[in-house]
């Protein structure tokens, strides 16, 4: 086994290049090489078992290797594994489109059309180009070149998606290559400049004192110029650090977007398919966007597939005689991939057949209860949870909410310790992310939270000792 590990790790380090990874560190490290997975567990080539507390980077829904999804892929593989969606339709793509449209029937206004692509980034890319071209094809409209997005928003890594994002660490270098997009204050209550009040624990109090300055700022922006679209991750901004929006925010900004005649793009790449408790997060505020982007959990975490859903109004703007060139000139070679669509159909079927939403509701309460003790740790500044998504924000100073020096990589240290105890997750900066698949048991949630508690406790006290020693040396 160890020989196999050495061989695979050597090949990995010699020939591959990992995403968002400083490879000089990776090459010196002892990376986990996975070979199989089942339910909430993944197994590495050395035979070690880990609880997947990160749902394989937010993609997995019902657990690894769910037999229903596996069988659907196998069955489709025997029939048709790929065909071009450019020129042909295929069976699972038709069925899935109808299914997705039907799921949006519960929203106040239906979404009627499904445009397939491969990843979250491409779903956003489609939304960006679609909304831009939509305005080009409106009579009496000047081209709208600018987009509005929230501070800290993340919408993917292709250039269009990076343009919509505002993560300083990622988009800084690429600025010269990007299309123009403005940012507006996000409803990040823990660091709200208007209300230096409370972490999420005292949210009720916060809600009473909140004057929705963030909504007013968005409104001001939307009135200041004609944006092509306002793009928002509803309910939870993932990469921003699992920033859970206060209830009411989405409904308010959706109203503002409509009143100012701006298209609303909702990026539900992370939040959809049960992650926040419902099929789509926007349903919780009775909001329908003009464009809805789906990916990650769409296939239950098995195949890369994405979809951009839109309204009849947007779709109609692209109809005309061929020579009018209103066609949406966009597509990929794997658009509408039958294996992905078959996996997605099976994934959606499981929600109905296995009472998944009831299960998520129960697990959500278990997670909340298990996170409660973490508030007692002196360096836990905030704990934010929505559905089965949680972010635990570590701070140097609980009172001032002052962060650790980023070079210390506190979040990474905690996750490294957790990994040694068999719990796999990734931080975002100093926010520890917990996002287990829906097949976890209450006991496994307890275990995850206990391991994270210990890892935070150990890592923060080690760093405090180190910082104290450095301080003392300075004084000498
Ligand atoms: C992950 C993510 C994306 C990008 O999706 P990829 O499949 O990684 O391209 C976009 N938006 C949000 C909100 C995400 O979480």
Q: What is the DSSP string of 99-135?
A: HHHHHGGGSSS---EEEEESSHHHHHHHHHHHHHHHH
Kindly state the average pLDDT of the residues 409-432: 97
Give the pLDDT confidence of 294-341 residue by residue, as tens digits.
Answer: 999 999 999 999 999 999 999 999 999 999 999 999 999 999 999 999
pLDDT at 200 (0 to 100): 58
- pLDDT band at residue 270 under the 50/70/90 scheme: very high
Phi-psi region of 63 (alpha: psi -120 to 50; beta: other; left: phi over 0): left
Q: What is the spatial distance between Cα 411 and Cα 314, in angstroms, rounded to a whole number?
A: 42
Q: What is the spatial distance between Cα 271 and Cα 254, in angstroms, rounded to a whole number?
A: 17
**Which of 155, 170, 293, 298 to mutate to test ligand 1, by most ligand atoms within 8 A of the CB atom?**
155
Q: Are both 304 and 409 inside the same structural domain?
A: no
Query: Per the domain annotation, does 21 fall within a domain?
Result: no
> Which of helix, strand or coil describes residue 381?
strand
**Which of 296, 306, 386, 433 to mutate to test ligand 1, by most ligand atoms within 8 A of the CB atom?**
296
Return all residues near 346 (Cβ < 8 A) that are at least 6 apart: 66, 68, 69, 71, 72, 73, 300
Percent of the chain with pLDDT over 90: 87
Expressed in angstroms and rounded, the spacing between residue 307 Cα and the centre of ligand 1 is: 12
Q: Which among 353, 376, 395 is the end of a domain?
A: 353
In this structure, the residue with its CA closest to atom 8 of ligand 1 is 120
- pLDDT band at residue 1 under the 50/70/90 scheme: low
Q: Which among 318, 353, 388 is the end of a domain?
A: 353
Query: Per the domain annotation, does 135 fall within a domain?
Result: yes
Q: Are both 56 and 81 inside the same structural domain?
A: no
pLDDT at 333 (0 to 100): 97
- pLDDT band at residue 206 under the 50/70/90 scheme: low
Query: Per the domain annotation, does 15 fall within a domain?
Result: no
pLDDT at 202 (0 to 100): 57
Q: What is the spatial distance between Cα 382 and Cα 370, in angstroms, rounded to a whole number?
A: 15
Q: Are both 337 and 397 inside the same structural domain?
A: no
CATH assignment of the domain containing 397: 3.90.1150.10
- pLDDT band at residue 196 under the 50/70/90 scheme: low
CATH assignment of the domain containing 106: 3.40.640.10
Give residue ranges with CB within 6 A of ligand 1: 58, 119-121, 124, 154-156, 233, 238, 267, 269-270, 295-296
Expressed in angstroms and rounded, the spacing between residue 139 Cα and the centre of ligand 1 is: 33
Query: Per the domain annotation, does 19 fall within a domain?
Result: no
Q: Are both 58 and 74 inside the same structural domain?
A: no
Expressed in angstroms and rounded, the spacing between residue 96 Cα and the centre of ligand 1 is: 21
Atom of ligand 1 nearest to the CA of 57: 1
Give the pLDDT confidence of 35-75 residue by residue, as tens digits.
Answer: 999 999 999 999 999 999 999 999 999 999 999 999 999 99
The continuous run of DSSP H or E covering 434 comes out as strand 431-434
Beta strands in 253-379 (DSSP E): 263-267, 291-294, 306-310
**Which of 236, 269, 282, 303 to mutate to test ligand 1, by most ligand atoms within 8 A of the CB atom?**
269
Beta strands in 125-164 (DSSP E): 147-150
Q: Are both 187 and 325 inside the same structural domain?
A: yes
Expressed in angstroms and rounded, the spacing between residue 123 Cα and the centre of ligand 1 is: 9
Q: Are both 36 and 129 inside the same structural domain?
A: no
**Which of 116, 238, 431 to mutate to test ligand 1, by most ligand atoms within 8 A of the CB atom?**
238
Q: Are both 376 and 341 inside the same structural domain?
A: no
Buried b (16+ CB within 10 A) or exposed e, 390-405: bbbbbbbeeeeeebbe
Of 74, 101, 9, nearest to 307 (Cα)? 101
Give 351 or 171, the one with higher predicted confidence: 351
Residue 389, beta-bridge partner list = 386
Percent of the chain with pLDDT over 70: 97
Query: Per the domain annotation, does 225 fall within a domain?
Result: yes
Terminal CA-CA length for the chain: 51
Q: Are both 348 and 362 inside the same structural domain?
A: no
Expressed in angstroms and rounded, the spacing between residue 298 Cα and the centre of ligand 1 is: 12
The answer to whether 106 and 278 are in contact (CB under 8 A) is no
Residues of the domain holding 181: 70-353
> Pairing state of beta strands 113-117 and 306-310?
antiparallel
Give 386 or 204, the one with higher predicted confidence: 386
In this structure, the residue with its CA closest to atom 5 of ligand 1 is 120
Q: Give pTM, 2 decimals.
A: 0.96
Expressed in angstroms and rounded, the spacing between residue 231 Cα and the centre of ligand 1 is: 13
Query: Per the domain annotation, does 22 fall within a domain?
Result: no
Query: Per the domain annotation, does 264 fall within a domain?
Result: yes
Atom of ligand 1 nearest to the CA of 121: 9
Buried b (16+ CB within 10 A) or exposed e, 429-468: bbbbbbbbbbbbeeebbebbbebbbebbbebbeebeeeee
Expressed in angstroms and rounded, the spacing between residue 280 Cα and the centre of ligand 1 is: 15
Q: Are both 55 and 76 inside the same structural domain?
A: no
Q: Are both 177 and 220 inside the same structural domain?
A: yes
Q: Which among 310, 332, 353 is the end of a domain?
A: 353
Expressed in angstroms and rounded, the spacing between residue 85 Cα and the centre of ligand 1 is: 23
In this structure, the residue with its CA closest to atom 10 of ligand 1 is 155
In this structure, the residue with its CA closest to atom 15 of ligand 1 is 270
Expressed in angstroms and rounded, the spacing between residue 159 Cα and the centre of ligand 1 is: 13
Q: Are both 385 and 343 inside the same structural domain?
A: no
How many domains, the chain? 2
Q: Are both 445 and 363 inside the same structural domain?
A: yes
Query: Per the domain annotation, does 25 fall within a domain?
Result: no
C-beta neighbour count of 135 within 10 angstroms: 18
């Amino acid at each position: 086994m160890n020989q196999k590990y050495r061989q695979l790790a050597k090949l990995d380090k010699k020939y591959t290049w990992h995403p968002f990874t400083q490879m000089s560190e990776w090459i010196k490290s002892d990376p986990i090489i996975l070979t199989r997975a089942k339910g909430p567990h993944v197994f590495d080539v050395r035979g070690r078992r880990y609880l997947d507390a990160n749902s394989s980077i937010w993609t997995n829904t019902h657990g690894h290797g769910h037999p229903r999804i596996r069988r659907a892929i196998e069955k489709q593989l025997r029939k048709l594994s790929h065909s071009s969606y450019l020129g042909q339709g295929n069976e699972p793509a038709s069925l899935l489109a109808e299914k997705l449209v039907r799921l949006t029937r519960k929203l106040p206004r239906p979404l009627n059309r499904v445009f397939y692509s491969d990843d979250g980034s491409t779903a956003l890319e489609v939304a960006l180009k679609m909304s831009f071209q939509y305005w080009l094809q409106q009579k009496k409209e000047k081209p709208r070149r600018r987009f509005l997005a929230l501070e800290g928003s993340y919408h993917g890594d292709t250039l269009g998606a990076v343009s919509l994002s505002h993560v300083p660490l990622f988009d800084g270098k690429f600025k010269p290559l990007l299309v123009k997009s403005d940012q507006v204050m996000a409803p990040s209550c823990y660091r709200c400049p208007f209300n230096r009040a409370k972490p999420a624990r005292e949210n009720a109090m916060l809600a009473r004192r909140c004057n929705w300055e963030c909504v007013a700022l968005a409104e001001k922006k939307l009135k200041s110029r004609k944006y092509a679209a306002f793009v928002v991750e509803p309910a939870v901004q993932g990469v921003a650090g699992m920033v859970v929006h206060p209830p009411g925010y989405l409904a308010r900004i959706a109203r503002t977007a409509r009143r100012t005649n701006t298209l609303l793009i909702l990026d539900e790449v992370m939040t959809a398919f049960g992650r926040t408790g419902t099929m789509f997060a926007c349903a919780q505020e009775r909001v329908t966007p003009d464009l809805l982007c789906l990916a990650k959990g769409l296939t239950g975490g098995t195949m890369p597939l994405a979809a951009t859903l839109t309204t009849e109004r947007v779709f109609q703007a692209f109809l005309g005689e061929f020579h009018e060139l209103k066609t949406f000139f966009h597509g990929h070679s794997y658009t509408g991939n039958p294996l992905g669509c078959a996996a997605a159909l099976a994934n959606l079927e499981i929600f109905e057949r296995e009472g998944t939403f009831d299960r998520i509701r129960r697990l959500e309460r278990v997670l909340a209860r298990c996170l409660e003790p973490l508030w007692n740790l002196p360096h836990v500044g905030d704990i934010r949870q929505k559905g089965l998504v949680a972010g635990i924000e570590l701070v140097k100073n609980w009172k001032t909410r002052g962060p650790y020096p980023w070079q210390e990589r506190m979040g990474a240290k905690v996750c490294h310790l957790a990994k040694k105890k068999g719990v796999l997750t990734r931080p975002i900066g100093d926010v520890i992310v917990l996002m287990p698949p829906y097949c976890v048991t209450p006991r496994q949630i307890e275990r995850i939270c206990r391991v994270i508690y210990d890892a935070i406790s150990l890592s923060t006290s080690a760093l405090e000792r180190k910082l104290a020693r450095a301080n003392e040396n300075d004084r000498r």
